[in-house]
Amino acid sequence: MATSSFKVKNGLIIGGTTEITSIVDEDAMASDSATALSTQQAIKAYVDSNAGTAWQSVITADPSNAVAGKGYFCNTTSAAFTVTLPTSATIGDEISFMDYAGTFDTNNLTIGRNSHNIQGSSTDLTVATERAGFTLVYVDATQGWLLKEK
């Protein structure tokens, strides 16, 4: 992906549609470089936290461990399989799953909890709903991964 610098002028981000690698606040630069750095960090944090889901190619087996921030199109046409959640998680981590072929009802998808609770339970999550699509969000050690939508 190409990278670009962006500028903040009168509160507006000026630039293209490429990945943000640096931001210069021209308004703040004239008076205070600390404010410029603070503005840059705040905007980068906002962009990073709202970047969306990075969808992966269709999978037909556990891709090792699922990764926070990614989405998985799961094809259980040939057989049921398990996708294992990450070994470590931080509040707000999200992972999405989608029934690629509409076969979760015949060949279930299992979400392996990998020592974290799912919905407050210490059991793996079995998905048996055709065309299911869902996102899990990590909250804490007590509840673990929670369904974002129901």
Long-range contacts made by residues 8-14, C-beta under 8 angstroms, separation at least 24? 8/39, 8/43, 13/43
Mean pLDDT within 34-61: 71
Q: Is the pLDDT at 147 greater than 50, yes or no?
A: yes
**7-39 residues labelled b (16+ CB within 10 A) or e (exposed):** ebeeeeeeeeeeebeebbbebbeeeeeeebeeb
The model carries a pTM of 0.67
Q: Is the pLDDT at 116 greater than 80, yes or no?
A: yes
Greater confidence (140 vs 50) lies with 140
Question: Beta strands of 43-124 (E only): which ranges?
Answer: 54-55, 70-74, 81-84, 94-99, 109-112
Q: What is the mean pLDDT of the chain?
A: 83
Q: What pLDDT is attached to residue 140? A: 98
Q: Which domains does the chain have, with CATH numbers?
A: 3-49 (no CATH), 54-147 (2.60.120.640)
Q: What pLDDT is attached to residue 1? A: 45
**Burial class of 75 by CB neighbour count within 10 A (0 to 12, 13 to 18, 19+):** buried
pLDDT digits (tens, 9 = 90+) for 5-20: 555 555 555 555 555 5
Q: Are 53 and 69 in contact (CB under 8 A)?
A: yes
**Weakest mean pLDDT among 33-42, 67-76, 114-123, 135-144:** 33-42
Q: How many beta carbons lie within 10 A of that of residue 58, not counting itself? A: 12
Q: Are 132 and 107 in contact (CB under 8 A)?
A: no
